[in-house]
Amino acid sequence: MYLDYNATTPIAPSVALKIINSLKNEWGNPSSKYPVAEIALKSITYSRMHLSKMIGANLDDIIFTSGGTEVPIANNMAILGALDYFKDWEQNCNTFVKGKPHIITTNVEHDATILPIRHLERKGLIECSVVAVSSDGCICPEEILAQIRPLTCLITVMMANNETGVIMPVAVIGRHIKDINRRRKLEGLIEILYHSDAAQAIGKIPVDVLDLQVDYLTIVGHKFYGPRVGCLYARGAGKATPVYPLLFGGAQERGFRPGTENTPMIAGLGEAARLVCENLDSYYSHMLQMRDYLEEQLKHELGESHVIFNCHGKTVMRLPNTCNVSVVGVGLTGQEILSRCKHIMASTGAACHAQDKPSEIEMLFEHADDEMAPSVLAIILEYPLILQYTMH
């Protein structure tokens, strides 16, 4: 039984069919002008339409990227682009504020976000403030805002955490940034760009970029039963919000991400987005029901004194599919517990994090110490459509 759906998801049946059909029939180069190319371009446009509908965006706000590690190109485009944005502002500003560009983030971001920031910091190109979440796993908006400096050019906060399932107050922060930017513009200061990695939120909770007030949003296909490609939402890409390409070589995606489009994978991504648009309510209720049942059964089978559910604060909102639990008083680590469950595939933390020591997130919990943190299990549940999928 697979219970690690925040690490990756299998391809949904209709997504697989869409990809296969595209491989067979949409093989033309979308940049060409003859019929087979127009078929491929039409497929990409349909996918762009479904993705924009899924997050409440405009068609031109969606920039497709490739997959795997390049899905973080969406993150990299926002983070590294902030450096170019600062340089452009610095050349044209009339203020006497001097220094390095400043970026604010949290201590629980995915490596796809934090490592590009650390890279820039090590090279002496930026200054960075990393704000710690509280023991309930949530970031305090006031603590983020308190770090703002005259040269702050980017704030990036994940929408939901992959290990704890905690949903961050991205919209609250976004509304404050919008107000702050009005004042900064009048003062001649650089306006702050706002980015959120929504990889774990898509397909589980509603995601609306207008409500979130973000300039950039990262979408990752393999987290919601799509292929390993993704896209970056950029509000008014290249106009209202600056977008700087990381690669050069063609006019695809309006030059923001050059290279001949991977039509079959983009088609699959669009189909996964269509499923979310049509089924999000049923997905949510199904996952929530399963998670609540799982937590009740864990208490019943192991005893309430042996289980501590992490990030269950009264004011904390969680993803409906994520259960982060510490098993205490049994003398076993999470890895040892899982090794005795021969038919369960689950995790003790993020798939991208080294498993030889507790993650920073695991050490946040009030009861955690070097001995207890390894007892954490992250149990991640599935959509109802995959129940059907696994029966075939």
Assess whether 230 and 263 both reside in one domain: yes
Beta pairing partners, 64: 231
Find out whether 75 and 197 touch, Cβ atoms under 8 Å: yes
354 falls within a domain: yes
Each residue of 306-342: pLDDT tens digit? 898 988 877 899 999 999 988 888 777 777 777 788 8
Residue in 94, 155, 189, 82 with CA at minimum distance from that of residue 125: 82
| Total number of domains constituting the chain | 2
In terms of C-beta density within 10 A (0-12 exposed, 13-18 middle, 19 or more buried), how is residue 2 classed? middle
Assess whether 24 and 115 both reside in one domain: yes
Beta pairing partners, 248: none
DSSP string, 232-291: EEETTBTTTB----SS-S--GGGGTS-S---HHHHHHHHHHHHHHHHHHHHHHHHHHHHH
5 falls within a domain: no
DSSP string, 68-104: GGGHHHHHHHHHHHHHHHHHHHHHH------S--EEE
Assess whether 58 and 158 both reside in one domain: yes
Domain boundary among 224, 253, 273: 273
Domain boundary among 273, 308, 328: 273
Enter the pTM of the model. Answer: 0.92
* CATH number of the domain encompassing residue 369: 3.90.1150.10
218 falls within a domain: yes
Assess whether 255 and 373 both reside in one domain: no
Assess whether 184 and 329 both reside in one domain: no
Residue 41's pLDDT is 95
Assess whether 188 and 224 both reside in one domain: yes
Tokens standing for residue 288: 């929530």
Residue 348's pLDDT is 78
261 falls within a domain: yes
Assess whether 184 and 201 both reside in one domain: yes
Assess whether 193 and 109 both reside in one domain: yes
Assess whether 158 and 207 both reside in one domain: yes
pLDDT-based confidence at residue 70 (cuts at 50, 70, 90): low
Each residue of 134-159: pLDDT tens digit? 989 999 999 999 999 999 999 999 99
Strand pairing report for 62-65 and 322-327: unpaired
Task: Determine whether 277 is an active site residue.
Answer: no
- Asked whether residue 224 carries a pLDDT value surpassing 90, the answer given is yes
Amino acid letter, residue 248: F
Phi, psi of 241 (to 5 degrees): -125, 130
- Domain with 258, as residue range(s), is 13-273
138 falls within a domain: yes
Residue 355's pLDDT is 54
Residue 352's pLDDT is 57
List strands edge to edge, sheet with 102-106.
Answer: 62-65, 230-234, 216-220, 193-197, 152-156, 102-106, 127-131
What distance in Å separates the CA atoms of residue 129 and residue 147, rounded to the nearest whole number? 7
* CATH number of the domain encompassing residue 79: 3.40.640.10
Assess whether 263 and 308 both reside in one domain: no
In terms of C-beta density within 10 A (0-12 exposed, 13-18 middle, 19 or more buried), how is residue 220 classed? buried
Beta pairing partners, 156: 195
Residue 387's pLDDT is 41
6 falls within a domain: no
- Asked whether residue 49 carries a pLDDT value surpassing 50, the answer given is yes
Please compute the mean of the pLDDT values over residues 68-82 and round it to a whole number.
Answer: 76
b/e map of 146-158 (b: 16 or more CB within 10 Å)?
Answer: ebbeebbbbbbbb
What distance in Å separates the CA atoms of residue 201 and residue 66, rounded to the nearest whole number? 20
Q: Which of residues 391 and 166 earns the better pLDDT score?
A: 166
Assess whether 144 and 290 both reside in one domain: no
Rounded mean pLDDT of the chain? 89
Q: Which of residues 249 and 129 earns the better pLDDT score?
A: 129
Domain boundary among 273, 293, 326: 273
Strand extents, DSSP E, the chain = 62-65, 102-106, 127-131, 152-156, 193-197, 216-220, 230-234, 307-309, 322-327, 376-380
194 falls within a domain: yes
3 falls within a domain: no
- Asked whether residue 184 carries a pLDDT value surpassing 50, the answer given is yes
